[in-house]
Amino acid sequence: MGTDFEIIPFDPHTATDELWTLYFDQTEAAYREYEPEDPLLSRAKKKELTLSSLPNPYRNDYTYLVLAEGGAVPAASASMVVEAPGSPTYASNKHIGNLHGLSVSPKYRRQGLATRLVAHILRDMAIREPQVTELQVPAALETGHKFLERKGGTVSLVHSENRLYLKDADWAMIERWDAEGARRNPGTEILTVTEIPETDLQDYARAYTETINQQPLGGLQMKMEITPDQIRYMEKKSAEQGTVHTTIYTREADGRVGGLTETSYLGDLGHVARQMLTGVRQEYRGRGLGKLLKARMLLHIRREYPGVKYIVTGNADSNAPMMAINTALGFKKHLPVLLYTLKIKPELLK
Ligand SMILES: CC(C)(COP(=O)(O)OP(=O)(O)OC[C@H]1O[C@@H](n2cnc3c(N)ncnc32)[C@H](O)[C@@H]1OP(=O)(O)O)[C@@H](O)C(=O)NCCC(=O)NCCS
């Protein structure tokens, strides 16, 4: 039986309830394939978060759904994110299309559907974002690796999700790192905030930009920058969405920001906290600030959010200094994700 497929844009702001249901059926099943056990965010909250995060002045988001059986059944989906002209790194990164969440329902695989969907998206991008010349695509599953290799993609980075189950953490060591760090740095102030104070905002943004660009990125060619405006934008969004974005950073005796670490926590998904960037500026390294910041954050999470069972973080496998700290804390590899780069060639649009 030949199945007719229809590819449609999924616009969260105009989608009907029926379309939202098809979208959730598709994307939740795709998520379950590599994460069979984790609790899912309720659909109502997920919808609220999606609506509140769009539009975003720093990025353009496009989502596509493939429907089968006369529109009654979801067969595939994918999303594309491209930096918007308002982004501070637009000039450096505007050629990159971040293709994520590409999934085809098992029943419809090996019929060329992902190939058709990618071609459709690229033709759409040629009109909407003609400056995009290459794709970055994360793939956690073997089927994704095979597909991307067939399309001519190459692995630019292995960026794994690592997890620390709090029951396995070495709390005695964590308390020691915290105490020793404070003792070795008597002139250092350690601040725990959900909003970066105005006095430190400019320097905090510089410290963040400096350290995030020092992460190994393998073959990826992209720049990262955070501006004070973006920090304020993100703080406002977090407050609106009910996400607690906690930053712990140091203010050194010379008044500069020495190091920082940040996490986010959403009460609706209270079993997990997400660890984002940890960075210590070059000139303040070797004084135990990295360990101090990580330890202080873990103690903070244990105290404030007793429902948290684990912390997730994403690191390049090649990031030796961060991996050393995380491994000592008890972080374990949970899900290796290969990040592919795929140059857009005419045959991909056919
Ligand atoms: C990866 C995925 C999207 C491919 O969807 P699909 O519609 O089956 O892909 P296509 O039919 O267009 O495949 C095109 C080519 O890719 C390669 N390929 C795709 N899946 C493959 C597999 N499981 N094993 C080996 N090669 C595969 C083949 O060369 C295939 O051509 P062929 O069938 O003529 O041999 C789908 O398997 C999926 O949803 N996997 C889970 C999610 C995932 O891994 N997504 C990662 C993002 S890429």
In a domain? residue 29: yes
**CA dist., res. 208 & res. 37, Å (int):** 34
Do residue 125 and residue 237 come from a single domain? no
In the structure encoding, which two tokens stand for residue 168, read together?
Answer: 């396995």
Do residue 202 and residue 328 come from a single domain? yes
Q: What percent of the chain has pLDDT over 90?
A: 93
Q: Residue 223 — very low, low, confident or very high, per pLDDT cuts 50/70/90?
A: confident
Do residue 180 and residue 304 come from a single domain? yes
145 Cα: distance to centroid of ligand 1 (angstroms):
8
Q: What is the CATH number of the domain that holds 244?
A: 3.40.630.30
**CA dist., res. 268 & res. 226, Å (int):** 27
Domain that holds residue 24: 6-132
Do residue 211 and residue 327 come from a single domain? yes
Do residue 65 and residue 201 come from a single domain? no
Q: Count other C-beta atoms under 10 Å from residue 343's C-beta.
A: 12
Any residues with Cβ below 6 Å from ligand 1, and which?
Answer: 30, 33, 102-104, 109-115, 137, 139, 141, 143-144, 146-148, 150
Domain endpoint, select from 132, 150, 184: 132
> Structural domain tally of the chain?
2
Question: How does pLDDT run across 293-314, given as a tens digit for each residue?
Answer: 999 999 999 999 999 999 999 9
Pocket test for ligand 1, best of 142, 147, 149 (most atoms within 8 A of CB): 147
Spatial CA neighbour of 275 closest among 296, 255, 306, 254: 296
Spatial CA neighbour of 140 closest among 164, 160, 118: 160
Run of H or E including 65:
strand 59-68
**CA dist., res. 161 & res. 276, Å (int):** 11
226 in Cβ contact with 247 (< 8 Å)? no
Strand ranges inside 195-271, DSSP E: 243-251, 257-266
Question: How does pLDDT run across 114-126, given as a tens digit for each residue?
Answer: 999 999 999 999 9
Predicted TM-score (pTM) of the model is: 0.94
317 Cα: distance to centroid of ligand 1 (angstroms):
25
Q: 63-72, 98-107, 218-227, 230-239: which range is least confident on average?
A: 218-227
In a domain? residue 123: yes
318 in Cβ contact with 216 (< 8 Å)? yes
Torsion sign (Cα): 70, 73, 78, 79: positive
Do residue 176 and residue 271 come from a single domain? yes
